[in-house]
């Protein structure tokens, strides 16, 4: 269903509203986004063109919606950033943005990646206090 929203002219408004809510199961006004089935995640669903929702935004050239999706303040992609670890998802979006040859989209994506890397390191350091030092030093996020 996210790819259908990504094709909408109102994509940025929905993404902003959904991004401000708890994406797992939360009602936020008139928006309810619920995900319980880890096998059929809507973030991995593809449309008839074989695109995930973020690729649809790129194809449409919707810079505003892509910016909202990757925004650290209200972006739905932040809430679902763990799903970028699924094989190929990050690469699909990166390839679509590169193919679009849109410097604004590339900048938005690069900023998201930079902030996401910092967040992952912070998360690893936070968890380090609960683990043995040798285990913490082997955490890939600290590399």
Contact of 57 with 3, CB cutoff 8 Å: no
pLDDT at position 17, please?
Answer: 80
pLDDT in tens, 74-128: 667 666 655 555 667 888 899 999 999 999 999 999 998 888 888 777 777 777 6
Choose between 11 and 31: higher pLDDT: 11
pLDDT in tens, 27-69: 445 555 554 445 555 566 778 888 888 899 999 999 999 999 8
pLDDT at position 73, please?
Answer: 76
Max distance between CA atoms of the chain, in angstroms, equals 51
Choose between 26 and 56: higher pLDDT: 56
Between CA 82 and CA 1 the distance in angstroms is 19
Which phi and psi angles does 128 have, rounded to 5°?
-60, -30
The pTM score is: 0.72
Between CA 68 and CA 80 the distance in angstroms is 13
pLDDT band at 24; cut points 50, 70, 90:
very low
Contact of 3 with 47, CB cutoff 8 Å: yes
């Amino acid at each position: 269903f996210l790819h259908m929203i990504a094709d909408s002219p109102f994509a940025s408004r929905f993404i902003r509203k959904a991004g401000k809510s708890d994406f797992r199961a939360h009602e936020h006004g008139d928006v309810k986004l619920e995900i319980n089935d880890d096998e059929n995640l809507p973030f991995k669903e593809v449309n008839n063109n074989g695109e995930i929702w973020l690729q649809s935004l790129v194809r449409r050239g919707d810079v505003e919606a892509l910016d909202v999706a990757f925004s650290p303040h209200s972006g739905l992609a932040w809430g679902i950033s763990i799903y970028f670890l699924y094989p190929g998802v990050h690469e699909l979006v990166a390839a679509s943005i590169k193919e679009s040859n849109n410097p604004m989209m590339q900048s938005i994506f690069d900023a998201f990646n930079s902030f996401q890397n910092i967040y992952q390191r912070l998360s690893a350091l936070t968890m380090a206090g609960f683990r043995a030092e040798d285990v913490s030093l082997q955490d890939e996020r600290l590399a």
